[in-house]
Chain A
């Protein structure tokens, strides 16, 4: 987590680029403990830009969540990370740090599933058995539950 009062020099860091087609050093912007390249879009407005998204890389922030965050700080949908003013970066970080995202959210989801298992519900059993939980057919197409639903649920 970054400190609120950090100056602009601390905000923007230079990180060596691994992509040879790009200039060797890419300016990075620090949002909630993660460095994002300045050229990245803040929000992936179209699926084709998905590789350069920034906010949506956080677990728990999707299309809707990122749109709402942007509108809250009057940031336009096609804004790039580098175009943010320092104040906006700080504001975003402050809000993100108060939201239940990333590990907090993961923990919550896992706890919910654990509770289901412990109370012996049908849904809990299905989670533990690696089978679909919400009444889907199991004759075919259950790859995802097989992959994810374990005793120790993956996320």
Chain B
């Protein structure tokens, strides 16, 4: 049957616009890849970032911070400080040195022993600890037992101590000890203290001058003083504690010989130890107790009525480490918020006045005031004063143009220069330098014999180390001795050396 439509007419109809047409089905063709489409990973859903983001939100990555939770218990109060200040005096792994002599009244003056290391007497270790003669960063923990080199300065000091105890009774020697970092100033003081203990002297020490001026201990003004002086009860109490702990035997054998109206509990039978103990049990009277103790120790004759138990007082050793801290303003402030000069602290003033006065130690003795290079506030005027002292000793007159003067146009501290201008005739400046080659050899042999150093210690080797240590600076020599310890011996097995 023929259609009523004419194909010709149909072909003349206008084609409708493209948009109205239904979408033409895509001709399915084989894709280029042979893998079937269904194996493909499902396409990720695209997040519409514009809708998620808030206005002006930052696009940078934000991570949650990890919360730090403490797992271990924190160290107990004071534990970390105790570790930091711990002093180890013995190393059981180090070899014991046979025939090592002790420092004794005989060995300390024996020039044949110069350059050898002598041990500190075992009975005196507690006393030396009490006066804080050992410092935490010194190398005592390397060796079996503590020992020091008998160097030229040590033997000279030994002879001095011997003289003051014997033939030249009543003589007072005042020294300021300086030297490069590591030159052995603190150990020099330690040797002096040991000698003092050996000779039954009264040993009074200030192991760290800084503690008195750093503002870490209580202070109080003394009424009626001009310029105002300040006492430090805590520091005085600590000084008495040290002094009693180190000199128990001596102080308990000496009886009271002077009147002390401030301490009514004392009887003529009481010993100096009782007097000192009054002070460290009660900080309020500790400074007065120290002054009373000082009066007793420097007494040359008993007061009326107290002659019975009077014994002559022994010579004294007074040592201070870190003198430069006392030559500037302290960290304390006065009522008007002005810094207090260190010289206005009664404690500091007492020890500095010993330098000034001629007969400060009535029964003779040794004043050793050392500077410190590792902890040095470097006060300009003190440095100038030391230079002046040196110049004087070299014979340069103060009127000479070569005589050191403070730099022009700088603010000077008149109190320091004035103090030193007064003391210059009585105080000797001792500069510690390096060991000689022979002494250095003795010191390095000590390392070798302790088993720390596995080298043959001969002249060439010692000479090399002596030069490396800046001409025998003992602290540097010790570092070299420690370094060598770390190298593995040649004969070690490959596994051990790997």
Interface residues of A (CB under 8 A from B): 21, 67-68, 70-72, 74-79, 83
Distance in angstroms from B229 CB to nearest chain A CB is 12
Q: Which of B74, B219, B221 contacts A76 (CB 8 A)?
A: B219
Q: Which residues of A contact B74 (CB under 8 A)?
A: 21
Q: A72-B335, A74-B221 are in contact. List 20 more A-B contacts (CB 8 A).
A: A21-B73, A21-B74, A67-B333, A68-B337, A71-B332, A71-B335, A71-B336, A72-B337, A74-B219, A74-B220, A74-B230, A76-B215, A76-B217, A76-B218, A77-B216, A77-B331, A78-B215, A78-B216, A79-B218, A83-B218
Most chain A C-beta atoms within 10 Å of own C-beta, residue among B217, B221, B230, B333: B333
Q: Taking the complex as formed, is B334 at the interface, i.e. its CB lies under 8 A from any CB of chain A?
A: yes
How many angstroms from the CA of A70 to the CA of B73 in the assembled complex? 34
Distance in angstroms from A144 CB to nearest chain B CB is 19
Can you identify 7 A-B contacts, CB atoms within 8 angstroms?
Answer: A21-B74, A67-B333, A71-B337, A76-B215, A76-B219, A77-B215, A77-B216
How many angstroms from the CA of A74 to the CA of B231 in the assembled complex? 11
Distance in angstroms from A135 CB to nearest chain B CB is 25
Query: How many residues of B sit at the interface, in one of the four size bands?
Result: 10 to 19
Distance in angstroms from A139 CB to nearest chain B CB is 14
Q: Which residues of A contact B215 (CB under 8 A)?
A: 76-78
Q: Which residues of B contact A68 (CB under 8 A)?
A: 337
Interface residues of B (CB under 8 A from A): 73-74, 215-221, 230, 331-337
Q: Which residues of B contact A77 (CB under 8 A)?
A: 215-216, 331
Q: If the complex has contacts A21-B73, A21-B74, are A76 and B216 also in contact, measured as CB distance less than 8 A?
A: yes
Distance in angstroms from B75 CB to nearest chain A CB is 11
Do A67 and B73 touch (CB < 8 A)? Answer: no
Name the CB-closest residue of B to A68. B337
Name the CB-closest residue of B to A77. B215
How many angstroms from the CA of A67 to the CA of B73 in the assembled complex? 34
Q: Which residues of B contact A71 (CB under 8 A)?
A: 332-337
Q: Which residues of A contact B220 (CB under 8 A)?
A: 74
How many angstroms from the CA of A77 to the CA of B333 in the assembled complex? 9
Q: Which residues of A contact B218 (CB under 8 A)?
A: 75-76, 79, 83
How many angstroms from the CA of A83 to the CA of B216 in the assembled complex? 12
Distance in angstroms from A28 CB to nearest chain B CB is 18
Name the CB-closest residue of A to B217. A76
Distance in angstroms from A55 CB to nearest chain B CB is 15
Name the CB-closest residue of B to A73. B335
Distance in angstroms from B96 CB to nearest chain A CB is 44
Distance in angstroms from B325 CB to nearest chain A CB is 16
How many angstroms from the CA of A79 to the CA of B332 in the assembled complex? 12
Q: Which residues of B contact A78 (CB under 8 A)?
A: 215-216
Do B337 and A67 touch (CB < 8 A)? Answer: yes
Name the CB-closest residue of B to A83. B218
Shortest beta-carbon contacts, A-B, top 4: A71-B333, A77-B215, A71-B337, A78-B216
Distance in angstroms from B270 CB to nearest chain A CB is 29
Q: Which residues of B contact A79 (CB under 8 A)?
A: 218
How many angstroms from the CA of A75 to the CA of B232 in the assembled complex? 11
Q: Which residues of B contact A83 (CB under 8 A)?
A: 218
